[in-house]
Amino acid sequence: MRFLLFLILFLSLVSKSFAQEGKRINLLNADILEGDEKLGKNAARLIGNVQFSHSDAVMFCDSAYRFSEENLFEAFGNVKIVQKDSLTITGERLLYFGKNSLAIMQKNVVMDDGKMTLSSDELNYSLETDQATYSTGAVIKDGENILKSKRGTYFSEQKILFFKDSVELDNPRYQLTADSMQYSPPGKKVFFTGFTIIESKGNDSSWIYCRNGWYETETGKSWFGKDTYVVSKEQTLFADSLFYDSQLSVGTAFNNVRVKDHVNNAIVSGRKMDYDDGKCYSLITGDALLSQLISRDSLFLHSDTLYATWDSLHTVDRKWFAYHHCRIFKSDLQGKCDSLAYYSSDSTFRLYGLPVLWSDSNQLSADSVYILVNQGKIDRMLLFNSAFISSPVDSVRFDQIRGKDMTGYFQDSKLDYIQVEGNGQSVYHVKNSKGRITGVNRADCTDMTIRIENGKVSGIHLYVLPEGTLFPIADTNPNEFRLRGFSWQQERRPKNKADIFFWK
């Protein structure tokens, strides 16, 4: 029985010894080895060409203290760890624990995996998990990219770095700062979270702000999410998220898209925007809205689609096109049409597809209408082919003017007078001093001028072969005094900004 117990104890001790031996640090070389009782009973001092091995790594240093019982050593001078012939860590001082394969490297630490280098004052590296951590700041160089942060973790096997606290990425084309970031050198892909700013180093001095996203440094593709802002000299863009390819200069913004044009003092918004700088266009869909400041008052334009183009030099010349179900609202001007074009070079809105406009009590329509803006104010309105103006006198009677073409002139953005050219016809209700209607003047002539006061027709001047008849009001039927093409569309007039999103 004693022999059996002795055998069991012996085998247990041998098994434990072999298990410990498998984890023990191996001394490969030292020019001088001497005991040092001041350090401990099983401590030794090693000097000159010191080499250790443990797990799959070899360690070099000028001198070291070895603690056999604790299975650790402390190395000094030209310290170097080589692992798998691909990863090296150098420094001035190393504390290595064989029990858990943990290396603590200090002073002028440099880790190199053949493609990337990490420099820090102190680095903790686990040979078991291939994981390196630092908390005293580090600089990582990978090709043309330089990364900095106060804290970080590097997984050498997967080639992935995690950065936290004052993260900076310096690239020849941009500078990135973030709260935290993940960097994958094989694909040169950067993931960032928290408060992030990316500043361009180009001539445009643009910058991007977001709260999460990713960027591929080699392909130039990127995605920015959560409160994305893009600011340049010409424009400011806001969106819930943004995808952009810098090599192709194309991108797409999603949800709550808003673009402010600083040059033309305009704002465009929608649910989605596609952008192509190479082809010089952008396309906005989903509740598309263009806001343009005119006469210290915003003009709002809504349509199914907004399309913008510009020249390759990005000058102030920009063209906006609105397609289908266009509606306009301004406090003193409203309108609708099928499509519209706006050129910043001549500050002109061009309305096509059964355009109808309302100014005060006047309704204006034609085959096409141009609105000319000068120094931020509406200057003129050109009506081409089948031009028609009408305004209500009462619930059943209307003053009407019809002609081939018309030009409306504005004073302080208010319609002042209208010039009719070709095939002029008019129906004008005459009133006495008490404001009562006394008659209806029906006139035809080649050209005419209509004066407007307080938003209503105040007088008509006829030119070139005028013919007119004044009918007593008692002898008239309102329905008989409707010029050809008359169509009162007051129910389709936008009453406010929100109304332009509902087509009638």
Domain of 62 in residue numbering reads as: 23-136
Cα(165)–Cα(325) distance, integer angstroms: 51
> What proportion of the chain, given as a percentage, has pLDDT over 70?
93
Confidence of residue 10 (pLDDT cuts 50, 70, 90): very low
Domain CATH for 180: 2.60.450.10
Q: Does a structural domain hold residue 285? A: no
pLDDT value of residue 338: 95
Q: Facing residues of 103 across strands?
A: 96, 125
Tally the domains of the chain: 3
Please say whether the beta carbons of 406 and 389 come within 8 A: yes
Q: Residue 215: is its pLDDT beyond 90?
A: no
CA distances from 373 to 79, 162, 200, 234, 412 (A): 75, 55, 35, 21, 11
Q: Are residues 79 and 45 in the same domain?
A: yes
pLDDT value of residue 204: 66
pLDDT value of residue 185: 66
pLDDT value of residue 17: 36
Q: Which residue has the higher pLDDT, 86 or 150?
A: 150
Q: Are residues 59 and 102 in the same domain?
A: yes
Q: Are residues 433 and 457 in the same domain?
A: yes
Confidence of residue 11 (pLDDT cuts 50, 70, 90): very low
Mean pLDDT over residues 43-55, rounded?
Answer: 92
- Tokens (6 digits) for 245: 């390819």
What residue has token string 């510009």? 310
Q: Facing residues of 339 across strands?
A: 323, 352
Q: Does a structural domain hold residue 12? A: no
Burial class of residue 449 (count of CB atoms within 10 Å of its CB; 0-12, 13-18, 19+): middle
Q: Are residues 72 and 185 in the same domain?
A: no
pLDDT value of residue 504: 61
Please say whether the beta carbons of 45 and 36 come within 8 A: yes
Q: Residue 255: is its pLDDT beyond 90?
A: yes
Helix, strand, coil tally for the chain in percent (to 5): 5, 65, 25
- Tokens (6 digits) for 247: 């090599």
Mean pLDDT over residues 230-244, rounded?
Answer: 90
Mean pLDDT over residues 306-314, rounded?
Answer: 81
pTM equals 0.73
Q: Cα–chain-centroid distance for residue 112?
A: 37
Q: Are residues 214 and 113 in the same domain?
A: no
Q: Residue 88: is its pLDDT beyond 70?
A: yes
pLDDT value of residue 316: 61
- Among 197, 213, 233, the domain-final residue is 233
- Tokens (6 digits) for 104: 């603590």
Mean pLDDT over residues 482-492, rounded?
Answer: 92
Confidence of residue 411 (pLDDT cuts 50, 70, 90): confident
Q: Does a structural domain hold residue 52? A: yes
Q: Are residues 484 and 359 in the same domain?
A: yes
pLDDT value of residue 397: 92
What residue has token string 């263009």? 290
CA distances from 185 to 158, 318, 432 (A): 10, 41, 87
Confidence of residue 489 (pLDDT cuts 50, 70, 90): very high
Cα(319)–Cα(160) distance, integer angstroms: 46
b/e map 339-376, b = 16+ CB within 10 Å: bbbbebeebbbbbeeebbbbbebbbbbbebbbbbbeee
Q: Are residues 378 and 503 in the same domain?
A: yes
Q: Residue 478: is its pLDDT beyond 60?
A: yes
pLDDT value of residue 3: 34
pLDDT value of residue 186: 63
Q: Are residues 222 and 168 in the same domain?
A: yes
Q: Which residue has the higher pLDDT, 197 or 414?
A: 197
Q: Are residues 359 and 467 in the same domain?
A: yes
Best CA proximity match to 467, nearest among 417, 432, 426: 426
Q: Which residue has the higher pLDDT, 301 or 39?
A: 301
pLDDT value of residue 9: 34
Confidence of residue 42 (pLDDT cuts 50, 70, 90): confident
Best CA proximity match to 174, nearest among 199, 149, 196, 203: 199
pLDDT value of residue 21: 41
- Tokens (6 digits) for 112: 């190199």
Q: Are residues 39 and 103 in the same domain?
A: yes
Kindly provide the residue ranges of all beta strands, DSSP E only, lying in 264-396, ordered along the sequence.
266-276, 281-294, 297-310, 318-330, 333-343, 348-352, 356-359, 362-365, 368-374, 377-392
Confidence of residue 253 (pLDDT cuts 50, 70, 90): very high
Q: Does a structural domain hold residue 56? A: yes
Q: Does a structural domain hold residue 9? A: no
Q: Does a structural domain hold residue 393? A: yes
Q: Are residues 166 and 202 in the same domain?
A: yes
Q: Does a structural domain hold residue 3? A: no
Confidence of residue 365 (pLDDT cuts 50, 70, 90): very high
Q: Does a structural domain hold residue 438? A: yes
> What is the rounded average pLDDT for all residues in the chain?
86
Q: Are residues 200 and 68 in the same domain?
A: no
pLDDT value of residue 1: 39
Mean pLDDT over residues 149-172, rounded?
Answer: 87
Query: Beta strand pairing status for 145-149 and 138-142?
Result: antiparallel
